[in-house]
Chain A
Amino acid sequence: MEFFNNLDIGFHAALSLNNLLFCFIGVLVGTAIGMLPGLGPLATIAMLLPLTYTLEPVSGLIMIAGIYYGAQYGGSTTAILVNLPGESSSVVSCLDGHQMARRGRAGAALAIAALGSFFAGTVATLLIAAFSPVLAEVAFLFGPVEYFAMMVLGLTAATLLAHGSFIKGVAMVLTGLILGLVGADVNSGTYRFTFGSFSLTEGIEFVAVAMGLFAFTDIVANIRSNQTREVTAPSLRSLTMTAKEFKQSVFPVLRGTAIGSLLGLLPGGGAMISSFASYAVEKRVSKKPEEFGHGAVAGLAGPEAANNAGAQTSFIPMLTLGIPSNGVMALMIGALMVHNIAPGPYVMVSNPEIFWGLIASMWIGNAMLVVLNLPLIPLWVRLIQVHYWVLFPIILAVCCVGLFSIENRVLPIYIAAGFTVLGCLFWRMRAEAAPLLLGFILGPLMEEHFRRSLLLSNGDLAIFYRSPLSVVMLSVAAVMCLIIVLPQIRQGRKVAFEEEA
Chain B
Amino acid sequence: MIFKTNGRADIEAGLFFTFFGAATAALSLQYRMGTIAAMGPGMFPFILGSILAVLGAIILAKGILGGGEKARPLPLRPTILISLSILVFAFLLLTVGLLVALPVQVAIAMWASEHFTWKRVIALSLGLLAFCYGVFVYFLGMSVPLLAV
Q: Give the interface of A toward B (CB within 8 A).
A: 51, 54, 165, 167-168, 170-171, 174-175, 177-178, 181, 185, 187-188, 190, 192-193, 216, 219-220, 223-224, 226, 387-390, 392-394, 396-398, 400-402, 404-405, 408, 410, 413-414, 416-417, 420-421, 424-425, 427-431, 447, 450-451, 454-455, 457-459, 461
Contact = CB atoms under 8 A, between A and B. Distances in A.
Contact of A420 (B36, B52, B59, B86): B86
B90 A394 contact: no
Interface string B30-45: 0110011111110111
Interface string B1-24: 001000101101100110011001
Nearest to B49: A178
A33 to B, nearest CB: 14
B78 A223 contact: yes
Given A170-B55, A171-B52, A389-B115, A219 B13 contact: no
12 contacts: A54-B140, A167-B58, A171-B17, A171-B52, A171-B56, A171-B59, A174-B48, A181-B44, A188-B32, A413-B93, A420-B82, A454-B39
B44 A427 contact: no
A404 B93 contact: yes
B110 A393 contact: yes
Leading 3 A-B pairs by shortest Cβ distance: A459-B37, A413-B90, A389-B115
Chain B contact surface mostly: helix
B31 to A, nearest CB: 6
Given A175-B20, A396-B109, A167 B55 contact: yes
Given A394-B128, A424-B79, 20 more contacts: A51-B135, A167-B58, A167-B59, A168-B10, A170-B55, A171-B55, A174-B52, A190-B31, A192-B31, A219-B78, A224-B113, A388-B113, A396-B106, A396-B109, A400-B90, A401-B98, A429-B16, A430-B72, A451-B39, A454-B37
B64 interface: no
Contacts of A430: 9, 13, 69, 71-72
Nearest to B2: A224
Contacts of B86: 216, 396, 400, 413, 416-417, 420
A393 B78 contact: no
Contacts of A389: 110, 113, 115, 120
Contacts of B142: 54, 405, 408
Contacts of B16: 425, 429
Contacts, number: 201
Chain A contact surface mostly: helix
A459 B140 contact: no
Contact of B113 (A192, A392, A427, A454): A392
Interface string B50-87: 01100110110010000011011111001100110111
A406 B59 CA distance: 38
Contact of A178 (B48, B74, B78): B48
A400 B86 CA distance: 7
Nearest to B123: A390
A175 B89 CA distance: 28
A455 B13 contact: no
B136 interface: yes
A454 B37 CA distance: 5
Given A400-B86, A404-B93, A192 B45 contact: yes
Contact of A447 (B44, B124, B131): B44
Contacts of A429: 9-10, 12-13, 16, 71
Given A171-B17, A188-B40, A428-B9, A405 B72 contact: no
A287 to B, nearest CB: 38
